[in-house]
Structure 1
């Protein structure tokens, strides 16, 4: 370390190459067993082709059979290891690797938080090779990385599949740089993962438009944009499996590719072209055509909240272009009628903004009310006998979801079409927990649940919504399966909402930390971005349209909003329970 000299300013590079790269050091001649173990663990984090340096620490047979691409184990705080056999033992030295298991990434690049608890334990058996050098004969099945190494090497991306006519984001992790095993760049890695099919968790409720066996054309290692006529075009060559697909199917394939690729480069993507195995054009889509295929809800016209003073549901248009905001107005229909005497405690607005599901002031009755025509308040469509209902949520099909918090009979209910007889939804894996808040994703295949258990602590779970299509009765057979932690790094979650690109915006605190608002992926992994200055928030709402501001309720300031690239601003000091349609 230098102990003297002048101090000079250093300007860090802003280019992509500023990222730290790691190259392993091959084993030294005559290296002892401990050095071999240390060197191998370091070499697993390297960027060299085929992880050749890491393989040099293995026996010849182990080097040939080791498949680092078969999966990744992520540990919190790194690994420790201790010898369990010495060099004098007949079988050679043996070392036990131990670490706190945080998550795994499977062969389809899908992230899975470790919900079972416990540690990662692995044994490395060392033997001497023909040259008398110590080598590892039993390496781990895949890669084992610390959390910091994993975040340095891999990045989250979304690939997209269809649920009916709607595109659904399926988050996976790919290498930030060229993959040492396949030699593919990040975009090619992501497209390869897209073609291999959805993650195991999402697979039961989505489908791919690509024919079975479709892969990138042999030898394709890189995919880049081609700029012609002012358009950035991505051309994706496929193998012969896709050569003869019909145009409607090809259009859906191209839409999957468009949404998968659009977030992976800094340049705007204008068009995706699908190529046959002979590199001739099969079809193409522009951004507008891909959007038409995606089946996404329209951009909301209003934000909604409850006026604290009179208990009315009101709406407001926020314009971010000129820093002006429209004045709040009562919603049309019975909920905005003066003198009706009905006070709203919470609300959800349908995606088409023609109806609202609202709770009565005591929270025991849910009403579905028109926002287009006047009239009397209808009868409640769902009631709780001895508890409160959660704030409701609409899915893209026009169904309403709500949970009853009755201690004697807690349940999740679905109201098909907002008017049919409520159907009780089976939720697997609640384990005695009680649902205290819920939000259905705009794609209609995931539901976020705040579940209270363990002495009153609220934890976030994400479940998969399954809808057996052979059931004829409206809503029958709908269930929520495979609950998994939505924010396992947080000790408690107090509010949440779905955000663009399949993410959740979560308000909560880490153990020993302060309350903050952070984005998490639907697989439970954390996205680094958080909301600046997000303190004192008790409710939050976001739109799929990223140009719309985040809207929240602050205990000190009422309804506040955060437009892209700006600061928080108070818009309604007397407002509660902000929501976007959904």
Structure 2
């Protein structure tokens, strides 16, 4: 028994010795896909070579060996062949490792046998492996954090096959220790054209096994947008299009990637074909530090592909500060007076929002009115929306002003001053406390109150032909373990900055990923320092997160350190 336990521990220790690496670097946000000069965190693939069962291994060692081989398969050229050697032949043929990935807090270890068990007198034994799941990954690579992690016992039935022990019953999927997840699975952004603009690409973060991430990424792009982006994005790929060759690899020394597709792709018009190539190039270029060109083939026939002028989400303008009833721009760590004047007469500004198109500039007046303060001089503030406990406004790229409404509602004042009420089924019965529209206008982050606490969700925005929002797609949950969120703002292509405040008034700032936080193994991360934050501002920009403290200090987050910018600041906002 001691030898079996030692061997089991050795397998787990070997797995823990691997270092989790990898992150997604951003690529250029407008124009043709091209090389950028932003710092790049290079993704390094470290192959873990799984070992098959040794003759005479005890049941515990068989289970431990299987767990290690299943994890290593994400980078191993043998994939899951070695893991299946630990299974009986019929179970090896039916076990589906891709059904689900459970990211567990600690390395899973089989529990010791009960003293009454005598291996020499039985040919069947049940072994329990206890682990705490902190996140899950579905078969499409979608990552979801678990809100209330709890320890679960996973049961393995081990039987004698001849003179050797093999696993005869187990759950589908694999258990991956959190410290190994980023080494085994690669954070990969897919891109889909916005429903209102073929050349505006909307990102969707997935996690794919490192051994085959390029191939799987192309397959998932061909499959089209996920449910939460349905109606907000589109697919230009003809239905039924598949990879003609089940592998995606560089073609030559220039690392041009040749993607061979089924014949349906040849019917796509040249302009749309250019966007499809740009989608795939953007995905395959992330983390490479340069653009990876893409060539499209219809079976063996190379297709002509022009360069597409595509845009990625980006906050173009600088952050705006309200101080002493005047506007300032945050420019290189200092305040510069804004050239636009505003009229705040008769208002009590408690939140600020700026359109990505410069105007309108709106403020929340107290907590029950949203007003436009950027109209022609002499007109005064113009009310847009009124109601109790309105959320801080967000202005999308079309000039629509968003805030909360009644129970389960969002309210929008359109650019033509009409009002739209949106009531998504997933928001039913909840009070909305924060709204934030992404820079490209296809996604919205919503914080709402539920019976079990506040919840952060993101959904696609469905618009009509005039770009007026008409509904929201199904929502996905973000940052489930982060409690007491009061505000969410976009801070990256697929990331949110979160402000939390507990019952005692202490605040904290977090970053969380829509589909997992790239570079951290997917998990939400708390930024150190500052417990007296009153407001946050963030954008899809290199300028980082800004906060205003309870004392009116404006500070900037830079690699986890808060740097002061100005004092006596009232409000701050990035466009959006």
TM-score range, shorter chain: 0.7 to 0.9
CA drift of 1:398 comes to 2.7
CA drift of 1:142 comes to 1.9
**Structure 2: which 5+ runs fail to align?**
1-18, 22-40
Moved more, 390-399 or 440-449: 440-449
Any residues of structure 2 matched to 1:243-262 within 5 Å, and which? 243-262=266-285
Does residue 348 in structure 1 map to residue 364 in structure 2? no
CA drift of 1:169 comes to 1.0
Aligned residue for 2:92?
Answer: 63
Query: Of residues 406, 410, 413 in structure 1, which corresponds to 2:410?
Result: 413
Number of residue pairs the alignment of both structures matches: 524
CA drift of 1:233 comes to 5.1
CA contact (8 A) 1:217 1:239 kept: yes
CA contact (8 A) 1:398 1:418 kept: yes
CA drift of 1:253 comes to 0.4
Aligned residue for 2:389?
Answer: 388
Any residues of structure 2 matched to 1:115-264 within 5 Å, and which? 120-129=152-161, 131-164=162-195, 165=197, 166-176=200-210, 178=211, 184=212, 186-203=213-230, 205-223=232-250, 227=254, 234-264=257-287
Using the size of structure 1 for normalisation, the TM-score is: 0.78
Which one has more relative contact order, counting CA pairs under 8 Å at least 6 apart?
2
CA drift of 1:32 comes to 2.1
Aligned residue for 1:375?
Answer: 378
CA drift of 1:342 comes to 3.5
CA contact (8 A) 2:249 2:258 kept: no
Any residues of structure 2 matched to 1:84-95 within 5 Å, and which? 92-95=124-127
Q: What is the CA–CA distance in structure 1 between the aligned matches of 2:264 and 2:177, rounded to whole Å?
A: 39
Q: What is the CA–CA distance in structure 2 between the aligned matches of 1:299 and 1:275, rounded to whole Å?
A: 36
Moved more, 427-436 or 437-446: 427-436
Alignment deviations for residues 10-30 of structure 1 (CA, whole Å, 9 cap, x no partner): xx9x99797764333322212
Aligned residue for 2:5?
Answer: none
SS of the residue 2:271 aligns to: helix
Q: What is the CA–CA distance in structure 1 between the aligned matches of 2:222 and 2:514, rounded to whole Å?
A: 20
Does residue 107 in structure 1 map to residue 139 in structure 2? yes
| Distance change (3 Å), C-alpha of 1:16 and 1:248 | closer
CA drift of 1:121 comes to 4.8
| Distance change (3 Å), C-alpha of 1:118 and 1:317 | closer
SS of the residue 2:493 aligns to: coil
CA contact (8 A) 1:490 1:509 kept: no
Aligned residue for 1:464?
Answer: 459
SS of the residue 2:102 aligns to: strand
Q: What is the CA–CA distance in structure 1 between the aligned matches of 2:149 and 2:121, rounded to whole Å?
A: 33
Q: What is the CA–CA distance in structure 2 between the aligned matches of 1:132 and 1:207, rounded to whole Å?
A: 56
CA contact (8 A) 1:271 1:284 kept: no
CA contact (8 A) 1:399 1:414 kept: no
Q: What is the CA–CA distance in structure 2 between the aligned matches of 1:531 and 1:92, rounded to whole Å?
A: 46
Moved more, 206-215 or 75-84: 75-84
| Distance change (3 Å), C-alpha of 1:520 and 1:89 | farther
Cα RMSD (Å) of the superposition? Answer: 3.8
Q: What is the CA–CA distance in structure 2 between the aligned matches of 1:37 and 1:159, rounded to whole Å?
A: 35
Query: Of residues 502, 506, 511 in structure 1, which corresponds to 2:494?
Result: 502
CA contact (8 A) 1:493 1:508 kept: yes
Alignment deviations for residues 151-189 of structure 1 (CA, whole Å, 9 cap, x no partner): 33113221011231132111100234x2xxxxx3x3333
Query: Of residues 556, 565, 576 in structure 1, which corresponds to 2:570?
Result: 576
Aligned residue for 1:5?
Answer: none
CA drift of 1:120 comes to 4.5
| Distance change (3 Å), C-alpha of 1:128 and 1:201 | farther
Q: What is the CA–CA distance in structure 1 between the aligned matches of 2:256 and 2:306, rounded to whole Å?
A: 9
Q: What is the CA–CA distance in structure 2 between the aligned matches of 1:254 and 1:412, rounded to whole Å?
A: 39
Q: What is the CA–CA distance in structure 2 between the aligned matches of 1:223 and 1:17, rounded to whole Å?
A: 17
| Distance change (3 Å), C-alpha of 1:16 and 1:359 | closer
Using the size of structure 2 for normalisation, the TM-score is: 0.79
CA contact (8 A) 1:425 1:480 kept: no
Alignment deviations for residues 469-511 of structure 1 (CA, whole Å, 9 cap, x no partner): 59x99655x2464352x21232333443102212112344899
CA contact (8 A) 1:519 1:526 kept: no
